[in-house]
Amino acid sequence: MTQWRDTMNELVRNRERALLGYAYLVCGDPTQAQDLVQDALVRTFSKPRPGLTVGKAEGYVRRAITSVYIDGYRRTQRWQRVQHLFKPTAIARDEFGQVEAGSDVADALATLPPRVRACVVLKYFDDLTVPAIAQTLGIAPGTVKRYVSDGLHQLQLALGEFEDSADFSASGTPAAPRSPRADATAPHPFEGQ
């Protein structure tokens, strides 16, 4: 029983590169080639095969690589022919819109210079005050205000208008709250729900 395991170990130890090269020629993708070799080894050695030599085992594995690839290709083709049957007719609410928006913000933040990015992140993500940011970074409060303002301006250019742009003044500090009369004509946000 341990003989087929020894055969498999010897095959992997001595012929792994050749099997990976063969799988790469079959599929053209190095990551998929590794998966093909793994699946082919499982298919070949999932049950004991008495009297299996390394040469015969390599032939079995090579055939299994081809079979696994063709099976996967056929499954993909079948799925492409019927996948339209499983798509919803109505457009569903985008569950990952917030994730994409967060990704866009992260990408836009990455374009900011390091000190500007640090000031924006400390102000709006860590909710620190300007004096606290100045103390943390060892710079003047006026410099922090300038960096925050510059950072918000660059983020606005990268991301477009902020939805809550009315909530921030030009200096990047929260704007004064609006009077209740200004909102008297606007519907209450929870009305009709």
Ranges of each domain in the chain: 2-86, 97-167
pTM of this structure: 0.43
Structure tokens at 155: 């983020």
Q: What angle separates helix 114-124 from helix 141-159, to the nearest 10 degrees?
A: 90
Tens of pLDDT, residue by residue over 1-49, are 567 778 888 888 988 899 989 888 888 888 999 999 999 999 888 877 7
- CA distances 187 to 119, 182, 190, 193, Å, are 36, 11, 8, 12
In which band, very low, low, confident or very high, does the pLDDT at 188 lie, cut at 50, 70 and 90? very low
User: How are the residues of the chain apportioned to helix, strand and coil, as percentages rounded to the nearest 5?
Assistant: 65, 0, 30
Q: CA 22 from chain center: how many Å?
A: 30
Query: Which of 46-55, 57-66, 95-104, 181-190 is predicted with the least confidence, judged by mean pLDDT?
Result: 181-190
Task: Assign a CATH topology to domain 97-167.
Answer: Arc Repressor Mutant, subunit A (1.10.10)
Q: CA 102 from chain center: how many Å?
A: 12
